[in-house]
């Protein structure tokens, strides 16, 4: 069976055209559809994960709202004299519970507007505390600060030895407490 040259050329053109059509079909139709399908499946997975996370938040709604209420009632009042008084009372509790010797305590009111996403002014009381004592009393002081119902954040902690044996230590502590213009906090 011999194929004529004209027929062979036509057959080769048909085979080459079919191969080109398959290649173009793969490149232009199949691959973009496949990638679109994979992207859509990935997007659906992310949406399902977000919905699951939202369902978990809804299940914890009462717990989260109760915690937020506690946080709002444990901030400092907006009145500077009341806030200063509350900080000094808390400092006296911390020192009394721990047995440290307080070398210095300097509260300072700070207003910060560095949050670019908001026009709110964040007001905090920043306190620098210097105390001395043994390891147990300094740890008790830190525990008293952290476990106090007043919402404070420890910003910086420095511990150094006063003597060569490490029996007498000094603690440098910077902490901040949030001030909210909140009627609940002002009535305490």
Q: 132-180 pLDDT, tens per residue?
A: 999 999 999 999 998 888 888 889 999 998 888 878 899 999 999 888 7
- The C-alpha atoms of residue 142 and residue 154 are separated, in whole angstroms, by 9
pLDDT digits (tens, 9 = 90+) for 78-95: 888 888 888 999 999 999
pLDDT of residue 84: 87
Phi (first) and psi of residue 119, to 5 degrees: -100, 5
Q: Which helix (H) or strand (E) holds 155?
A: strand 152-161
The whole-angstrom distance between residue 149's C-alpha and the CA centroid of its chain comes to 21
């Amino acid at each position: 069976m011999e194929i004529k040259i004209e027929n062979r050329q036509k057959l080769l053109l048909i085979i080459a055209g079919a191969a080109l059509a398959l290649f173009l079909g793969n490149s232009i139709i199949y691959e973009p559809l496949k990638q679109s399908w994979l992207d859509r499946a990935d997007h659906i997975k992310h949406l399902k994960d977000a919905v699951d996370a939202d369902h978990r938040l809804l299940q914890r709604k009462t717990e989260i709202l109760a915690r937020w209420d506690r946080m709002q009632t444990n901030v400092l009042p907006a009145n500077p004299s009341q806030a200063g008084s509350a900080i000094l009372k808390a400092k006296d509790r911390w020192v009394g519970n721990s047995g440290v010797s307080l070398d210095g305590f300097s509260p300072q009111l700070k207003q910060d507007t560095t949050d670019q996403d908001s026009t709110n002014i964040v007001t905090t009381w920043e306190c620098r505390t210097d105390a001395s004592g043994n390891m147990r009393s300094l740890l008790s002081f830190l525990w008293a600060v952290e476990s106090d119902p007043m919402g404070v954040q420890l910003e910086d902690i420095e511990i150094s030895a006063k003597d060569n044996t490490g029996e007498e230590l000094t603690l440098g502590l910077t902490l901040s407490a949030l001030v909210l213009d909140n009627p609940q906090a002002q009535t305490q």
